[in-house]
Structure 1
Amino acid sequence: MDVTLPEGLDAFLAAAGWPNAVVEPLPGDASFRRYFRIRRGEETAMLMDAPPPNEDPGPFLRAARWLDHNGMRAPRILHAEPERGLVLLEDFGTVRMRDYLDDWPADEEEVYAGAVDALKDLHRLPPGPFLDYGLAEYQREAQLLVDWYVPARNLYVDSRGYAGAWEEVLRPLLPNQRPGVTVLRDYHAENIMLLGNLADQGLLDFQDALIGHPAYDLVSLLQDARRDVSAELEAKMLERYLADHSGKREDFLADYARLGAQRNAKIVGIFVRLWKRDGKPRYLSLIPRVWALLERDLKHPALGPVARWFEANIPADLREALGGEWQV
């Protein structure tokens, strides 16, 4: 963990009204961002260090302010100097959904129900001031599997056929995401904080928000790359969401499978990239879970073209080994 304090931090904290505060480094995430807890007596705040040019806090600030303005529980912005990459935020504490459920698994259904209900609240709002989640972006993300996983396995694959299969699979869902909802894009148990009771949940890591399909964040939550979610709980939470959904159930479930497969293919590529490019091999251990979810999504009839591509291009032994073992 990098414990070096950001340059100019004392002046930033003084301008924010937090001079002479105690600064505690915290573990980071898969990005170049770093986090610190700021203490002043009994009060605490969170410092996000997102230094240019690798990071830009502008999208985070825009999304946080929109969410807060619309009644969603994003951390309030206490002070920001985006040109320096420094943002002082409300501190949501230390109780992540993931950690809480590790200690209190009996509360799993109640906690996930709260997370699904928060998505329902978000989806009742008009879409935010974000770009559309279009076919080009879906394709770019799915391509990460071919760009990173495939060469790491020394495979030769039909890249053009891969893109064509995804276009055939994804194009039918595009009309179903109009007018669209705000999609946070990384909504899972490590990015949800519990704020005093199980239903009061705070949002994190939403700087990449787009306007897209309501199934996307639901599949992010229920097909979690970092935590096992049983098929029974997934089905129950899908039913909870669909109870208030006005569209056709079969269409929504087909799109859920499409986006699940697209997202899981993307995540496999990202985890290999984190190893190869960024020197973070710890994410490789998560690939079998993600691959198992991908294989399950590929069984849906809506994924036929992509499923056939995998059958023709990814060796059976790798698929049976859920992506295969890795020598780091």
Structure 2
Amino acid sequence: MSLSDPRFLQLQQWLACHFKAPFDIELISGDASFRRYFRVRVAMQHYIVADSSPALVDNRPFLALASAYRQAGIATPEIMAVDATQGFILQQDLGDQSLLSQLTADNAVHWYQQALRLLPKIAAVTHSADGPLPQYDAAFVQRELDIFPEWLLGHHWQLALTDRERQLLAQAFALLTDNALAQPQVGMHRDFHSRNLMVHQGQLYVIDFQDAVQGPITYDGVSLLRDCYIRWPDAVVTQLRSAFYRQCLAHSLLDARVTESQFNRWFDLMGLQRHLKAAGIFARLLHRDGKSGYIKDIPLTLQYVADVSAAYPELYDFGRWVQQRLLPLCGENA
């Protein structure tokens, strides 16, 4: 980042008007979008400022969801000031401790239980000041699934699929779409995982919620428990998935007639949809956005797909194709 970067100069000018006192500013990250984040220190205080140009990012959903989430009792960073025209948002600094950085084999169940307890509150948020959250409908699911063949198979690996391979994809996508639409629809964060939960003063705070929608009840739970960035033993996931099921029943988010077996199927297949999308996004981040840091996470996402598919007869061939055809490519040219 150059000190002569026009947006950086604009940001400095805006902060100078806001604080009326000397401050230090440093870049701390750019996320998997068109946002940059800076830490600002003023005397003994420190803040985070998001730089997200309105030409590239619509900041209105983030601001509307921040208000809706806080009204629902969900801990999110407090917003101190906003310049909607320039796309600057000054927020509470939660520090650098993501949930991912705190997890160990000894404390994982404790932290994940805390995280799961946030989901009924998130499920209740189906509207913001902008109106109803978007519906995670069939077209939405298909758009997400299409990222996988376009960006990972096409742009990244340049695979020429056979008719049989295209048929396998189409059949799997249809099954996963039907699975998503069959579930109870609730408020859904849509990126609920260990990097988007911050540990601050012993409490979990939720970030990156601007893409929230109304969608399948299992989506956020499987996103958390089958994290794209860390994998836990199946026994741990099974224990936590069962707790998630009981929690959904206790909060009347599920009809009591929904069996745990049915819930588990919803959960498993929902995870497949998310992992296929994520693998495609990781490739898109490299080839479209010049962000190479996510390519290393593709093998884990595809291994989830292969392993879970093996448990379902209607996905067995698809999972074997992922295991035998795609996973070896990760080692060759990922």
TM-score by length of 2: 0.86
For 1:78, the equivalent position in structure 2 comes to 80
**Number of aligned positions between the proteins:** 316
Residues 201-252 of structure 1 show CA distances to partners (whole Å, capped at 9, x for unaligned) of: 0011111110111210111111111122221221121122112223312222
Letter in structure 2 aligned against 1:127 = T
Give how far 1:320 is off.
5.3
Residue 217 of structure 1: which of 211, 215, 220 is its match? Answer: 220
**8 Å contact kept, 2:305–2:322:** no
Map 1:36-47 → 2, pairs under 5 A: 36-47=38-49
For 1:327, the equivalent position in structure 2 comes to 333
Matched, 1:107 2:107: yes
Q: Distance in 2 between matches of 1:316 and 1:79?
A: 49
> Which 4+ stretches in 1 moved above 6 angstroms?
none
**8 Å contact kept, 1:16–1:78:** no
Residue 167 of structure 1: which of 155, 171, 174 is its match? Answer: 174
Instruction: Describe the shift of the 1:80–1:126 C-alpha distance in structure 2 as closer, same or farther (beyond 3 A).
Output: closer
Give how far 1:15 is off.
4.5
Give how far 1:168 is off.
3.6
Matched, 1:140 2:132: no
Q: Distance in 1 between matches of 2:199 and 2:20?
A: 25
Q: Distance in 2 between matches of 1:18 and 1:293?
A: 51
Q: Distance in 2 between matches of 1:142 and 1:279?
A: 21
Runs of 5+ unmatched residues, structure 2: none
For 2:126, the equivalent position in structure 1 comes to 127
Letter in structure 2 aligned against 1:8 = Q
Residue 226 of structure 1: which of 225, 229, 236 is its match? Answer: 229
Q: Distance in 2 between matches of 1:262 and 1:67?
A: 26
**8 Å contact kept, 2:59–2:87:** yes
Q: Distance in 2 between matches of 1:211 and 1:17?
A: 38
Identity percentage of aligned residues: 26
Matched, 1:292 2:307: no
Matched, 1:237 2:240: yes
**8 Å contact kept, 1:261–1:297:** yes
For 2:193, the equivalent position in structure 1 comes to 188
For the residue of structure 2 that corresponds to 1:194, the secondary structure is strand
Give how far 1:132 is off.
0.8
Letter in structure 2 aligned against 1:286 = D
Q: Distance in 1 between matches of 2:59 and 2:273?
A: 27
**8 Å contact kept, 1:257–1:300:** no
Give how far 1:108 is off.
1.7
For the residue of structure 1 that corresponds to 2:303, the secondary structure is helix
For 2:33, the equivalent position in structure 1 comes to 31
Give how far 1:10 is off.
3.3
Letter in structure 1 aligned against 2:189 = L
For the residue of structure 2 that corresponds to 1:282, the secondary structure is coil
For 1:318, the equivalent position in structure 2 comes to 325
For the residue of structure 2 that corresponds to 1:72, the secondary structure is coil
